[in-house]
Amino acid sequence: MHIRADAIILSTRNHGEHGVVARALTRDHGVQPGYVRGGRSRRLRPVLQPANLVLGEWRARTGEQLAGLTVELVASRAALHDQPLAAAALQWATTLAAVALPEAQPYPHIHDALGGVLDAIEAAPSARGWAAALARYELVVLAELGFGLDLDRCAVTGVEEPLAYVSPRSGAGVSRAGATGYEAKLLPLPRFLIEGGEAEWDDIFAALRLTEHFLSRTVLVDRAADTLAARTRLVDRLRRAVA
């Protein structure tokens, strides 16, 4: 097995005295784990930080063997780890991909969405430019893993009309007319998730509540407690930042 590709570092764990096992997301080969010899060294630790873009080369004698991995830094986001809000966003975005995606299965749309979020965080660490993109990224993860929301038409009226809510059970969209009398039981659907564009903070937090609901009951159902802790810290920091 030999793969050479650009990749986003998702996570690392120590292995042996000096090495680490890194998990990185490539566009065409999905999540690829690899053993980095000397990965805990002063030279390689900054390269292997989550969210960095690297050129990775994986080599293994068989597909079942953990590949050896060498990395060359392409773009570093290490400086963002010194900014609490940006660091929390980087941690959650990469953790979601690391935990949710199976190995060696390509998810180019998730790769591109993650790269877009990371670029946005780098461009605007204050969150004004990336919080909406984060919610859209989470929607892409849900859709690509088979848990996408059904937002083509109102689930109650059956008509293609502007949607305002989502059923927390089925993930189907509901219009304002269809939701009459049941608004409190439904999840608000901010328009920017469908139409794109900028969003106000109330809509962003509503979008993050929506995606968290479906992530916790589908993609992260067996790992919600541990994995969603990073997301909770991020949302708490966002609320404090815009208060």
Q: What is the CATH number of the domain that holds 64?
A: 2.40.50.140
Backbone angles phi, psi at 28, to 5 degrees: -100, -15
Q: Which helix (H) or strand (E) holds 55?
A: strand 53-59
Pairing label, strands 2-15, 19-26: antiparallel
How far is residue 116's CA from residue 132's CA, in Å, rounded to a whole number?
11
**Crossing angle for the helix pair 224-242 and 201-214, nearest 10 degrees?**
180
Residue 178 lies in a domain: no
What pTM was computed for the model?
Answer: 0.93
Range of the domain at 202: 79-151+189-243
Reported as a single tens digit per residue, the pLDDT across 137-192 is: 999 999 999 999 999 999 999 999 999 999 999 999 999 999 999 999 999 999 99
Reported as a single tens digit per residue, the pLDDT across 44-93 is: 999 999 999 999 999 999 878 899 999 999 999 999 999 989 999 999 99
The domain boundary residue, chosen from 76, 108, 138: 76
CA proximity to 210, closest of 197, 192, 223: 192
Same domain, 103 and 205: yes
The domain boundary residue, chosen from 49, 76, 103: 76
How far is residue 89's CA from residue 124's CA, in Å, rounded to a whole number?
12
Same domain, 54 and 107: no
Same domain, 39 and 142: no
Same domain, 111 and 218: yes
The domain boundary residue, chosen from 76, 98, 123: 76
pLDDT band at 198 (very low <50, low <70, confident <90, very high): confident
pLDDT at 225: 64
Bridge partners for 7 per DSSP? 26, 54
Residue 25 lies in a domain: yes
pLDDT at 242: 86
Q: Give exposure, 42-69, as e/b (b: 16+ Cβ within 10 Å).
A: eebeebbbbbbbbebbbebeeeeeebeb
Same domain, 197 and 84: yes
Residue 196 lies in a domain: yes
Bridge partners for 241 per DSSP? none
Backbone angles phi, psi at 90, to 5 degrees: -60, -45
Backbone angles phi, psi at 69, to 5 degrees: -130, 130
pLDDT at residue 128 greater than cutoff 90: no
Same domain, 36 and 69: yes
Q: How many domains does the chain have?
A: 2
Same domain, 86 and 71: no
pLDDT band at 125 (very low <50, low <70, confident <90, very high): low
How far is residue 154's CA from residue 230's CA, in Å, rounded to a whole number?
33
